[in-house]
Amino acid sequence: MMQISNDAYCNKHSLLNVMNRFIAAANNMDETIMVPSLLRDVPLEEQENQGAKISQNNNEPTFPSKQRDMYEHYLLLKSLKNDMEWGLLKREMSGGASFLEMAVKHEEQQITGVPPEDGTDLESQFHYHLRGLFGVLSKLTVQADHLTNRYKREIGGGSLTR
């Protein structure tokens, strides 16, 4: 049986730590937003401007958000957290592709240099996808924190930011 080292679990650069930070941010978002319907028709423009700044600093291309308002963004983050906690089997059984699966397929089509999927270089494939997972989870954590803080500002509790 494989044991998880406490050193690897506590390492701030470990995959488990990044996953736990996103899940904690999404849980905090879910606990804070008591009335998600208040997010309807609240534009994402403030968050998109922040995302553009982050992407420019990392020399990464920016991708326009597919969500029209904060409510749809809230649902996306909640759905991704559920996919991480429960796995994709539940979604596959219901016949639908998750937002995360669609985003990964779209990104792989646009990015050149995707490792071959024929199984010859599994180490390269693993590191490629691990880097992508770290990047996506970090961005999702920032977005969940931003959505939570923006909700607090919208309902007048802006001084309670985390």
Predicted confidence (pLDDT) per residue in 58-92, tens digit: 544 444 556 688 999 999 999 999 988 888 666 55
When pLDDT is averaged across residues 20-45 and rounded to a whole number, the result is: 92
Q: Whole-number mean pLDDT of the chain?
A: 75
Q: Pick from 110, 108, 83: which is nearest to 94 by CA?
A: 83
Residue type, 79: S
Cα-flanking dihedrals φ and ψ of residue 97, to 5°? -90, 140
Q: State percent of the chain over pLDDT 70.
A: 56
Give the span between the Cα atoms of 21 and 32, in whole angstroms: 16
Taking the domains of the chain in order of start, what are their residue ranges? 16-160
In this structure, what is the dihedral angle of CA atoms 44, 62, 60, 55, given to the nearest 10 degrees?
A: -30
Please tell me the distance from the alpha carbon of residue 162 to that of residue 62, in angstroms, as a whole number.
27
* Count of residues in the chain: 162
pLDDT for residue 108 is more than 50:
yes
H helix and E strand count, the chain: 7, 0
The whole model's pTM is what?
0.64
Smallest CA-to-CA distance from 57 within 122, 142, 127, 121 is with 142
Token pair, residue 47, equals 């968050």
DSSP 8-state class, residue 157: -
